[in-house]
Structure 1
């Protein structure tokens, strides 16, 4: 087994995160990724979102997660990502959960998540060419090229690209492009860029266009999201 396949947490680009709930509800804005989470003492797969999801929480409760790189969830779980779109699903409903990995949950949740990811990786032995394609398409979706141009760049027909997007990301490239653009605009605004400038830099027609997208994807104005 190659090093790439043996150590997914480091070499496949999975990112660990932790969130501590401040209230009874957490609103999750679409970000174009999928996560393996430890939520309320359960291993949960968070599918790709097309709109903001309200998640019930307990104040002070911590949720840990691994943000999975493009295409990895599909490769490890063996189901098209579109079957998980806008859903939170127990990992046990999708794949065998290694009991020896879960044994470390009480002592060290991040270590447990990495062990589960490693066990899934070894079981699935994902095709590196599929992961390279997913990464390339995700990078392209962050640029300014059209869906047709992206398809041509990758030697795919429009229809094949649509099916590939559904399988790897949970939706087509046009939706993924819109989510990445929205997240980029928010990132710029959070670092102090004026909303009008953030909208223009991210590729919106104007600030009003960004505001419409914010209401559609997040159910709130950009200003409210930043607050």
Structure 2
């Protein structure tokens, strides 16, 4: 069983949610890209799951327990001492990043206060790319060169602007589909050329068709 809840006011600007998963039976769960970084306590020990660019199958056994803290896209800041780009598609132990295994929410909040703040442009970058603006348009609107935008996006999100756009568009489509919106409408409202384009991108990013993601949810 999976559940998530609010992190509380002291962390809400940086943390999307706290979550837990208790596995009742053996199986494989596919983790899909969401532009987030998670701190995870699980059977393999505490580790950081960096921003993914493709599906990650996780083999779970009956009785396995997972707990996590999910950061908002671009909100990691200097907490781990490395830019998000160095964590892309990686799973790194707490020990390798200088985090205590028994990290509490209070200690996390204190570490966040003492670490470098996230790029203040990160929310605007993500929102503009999610709305369908081109990389050139986003750079122009923020007063940046495309090269500078690329560097800031990789540091904050772990992705180039084009990859970030694909992933936030995919997540918007997934949210709409899970709410019951017809796939043709999902494609149009998420910025895909047509439903075939949506289907192609969903398979590239998740490894399964949209129907598979909806059943899993």
TM-score normalised by structure 1 residue count: 0.83
Give me the CA root mean square deviation: 2.0
Aligned twin of 1:121: 112
CA distance in 2, matches of 1:113, 1:56: 27
d(CA) in 1 for partners of 2:16 and 2:194?
34
Alignment correspondent of 1:43: 46
CA contact under 8 A between 1:36 and 1:44: conserved in structure 2? Answer: yes
Runs of 4+ deviating beyond 4 Å: none
Greater fraction helix: 1
Question: How many residues are treated as equivalent by the alignment?
Answer: 206
1:136 paired residue number: 124
TM value normalised by structure 2: 0.86
- Structure 2 residue aligned with 1:59: 62
Which residue of 2 is the match for residue 106 of structure 1?
A: none
CA distance in 1 between counterparts of 2:36 and 2:194 reads 26
- 2:162 counterpart SS class: helix
| Residue correspondence of structure 1 range 94-105 to structure 2 within 5 A | 94-97=97-100, 102=102
Relative to structure 1, is the Cα distance of residues 8 and 141 closer, same or farther in structure 2, using a 3 angstrom cutoff?
farther
1:73-102 per-residue CA deviation (whole Å, 9 max, x = no partner) reads 2421121211111111112101242x7xx2
Establish whether residue 78 from structure 1 lines up as the match of residue 67 from structure 2: no
Where do 5+ consecutive residues of structure 2 fail to align? 1-8
Q: Answer yes or no: is 1:30 the counterpart of 2:33.
A: yes
5+ unaligned residues in a row in structure 1: which ranges?
A: 1-6, 103-111
Q: Per-residue deviation at 1:23?
A: 2.7
